[in-house]
Amino acid sequence: MRLHVAEHPLITHKLTVLRDETTPSPVFRQLTEELVTLLAYEATRNVRVESAEIVTPVTPTTGVRISEPRPLVVPILRAGLGMLEGMVKLIPTAEVGFLGMVRNEETLEPSTYAERLPDDLSDRQCFVLDPMLATGGSLGAAIEFLFARGAQDVTAICLLGAPEGVAAIEKQVGDRDVTLVLGALDQKLNEKGYIVPGLGDAGDRLYGTV
Ligand code: PRP
Ligand code: URA
């Protein structure tokens, strides 16, 4: 597994505002979108391309374009949905699949309540979006879903990660092709499975308590 933790003052600045408990939902949503676009720049570094012949107003030349099959972007509902716009801004030709997962707040075990993905993901590059990597249960289950359908490689973009979650994903994926891109690697999980210092419940801060 490859781990990339962003080191950029703009990302840290935006994360600081995001973490602040006084930041209201509309600002939180806007910042989430902006952060994803910045992180997606790094996360798509290995997106597959093929050569493309074009003619500029001056001369024929060879460039590249994103290969078929197109990348698949998978937000994990509900909080991952807040990251979708920021991602597709950068790769507008990507397809989008959905996974709905919720973590039991007592046992911290994830369960899947919705799934809308292509049946066959052979040769597909997949990008999973979830703002929070806490125990790693939700992201780990999403990664297994995608590889079970034949995904070639999986890149996960998370705004914040806990060391416990990173270690769990690393152990789970073994030598499969997985990249983790984090906005920041935080200190630890608390006794309730929340990331410390974290930002609280990302889904609630994006969409309100349900
Ligand atoms: C949050 C978050 C992740 C998960 C992380 O979702 O968005 O999906 O918890 O925790 P884990 O690494 O321990 O699995 P939650 O279950 O709160 O659902 P929501 O997105 O609907 O709020
Ligand atoms: N899910 C969240 O939304 N926040 C955490 O800190 C952990 C899991």
pLDDT of residue 209: 82
pLDDT of residue 41: 94
Q: How many CB atoms within 10 Å of residue 70?
A: 15
Q: Which amino acid, residue 75? A: P
Q: For 4-9, what is the mean pLDDT?
A: 97
pLDDT of residue 210: 74
Q: How many CB atoms within 10 Å of residue 17?
A: 13
Residues 149, 99 contacting (CB under 8 angstroms): no
Taking only the tens place, the pLDDT of each residue in 20-79 is: 999 999 999 999 999 999 999 999 999 999 999 999 999 999 999 999 999 999 999 999
pLDDT of residue 42: 94
Taking only the tens place, the pLDDT of each residue in 111-129 is: 999 999 999 999 899 999 9
Per-domain boundaries in the chain? 2-207
CA of 100 to the centre of ligand 1 (A): 10
2-207: CATH topology is: Rossmann fold (3.40.50)
C-beta 194 within 6 A of ligand 2: yes
- Model confidence at 181, pLDDT cuts 50, 70, 90, reads very high
Give the chain's mean pLDDT: 97
Kindly provide the ipTM of the predicted complex, given to two decimals. Answer: 0.98
Q: Ligand nearest 208 Cα, by number?
A: 1
- 48, 70, 103, 149: the active-site residue: 103
- 16, 107, 123, 176: the active-site residue: 107
Q: For 85-101, what is the mean pLDDT?
A: 96
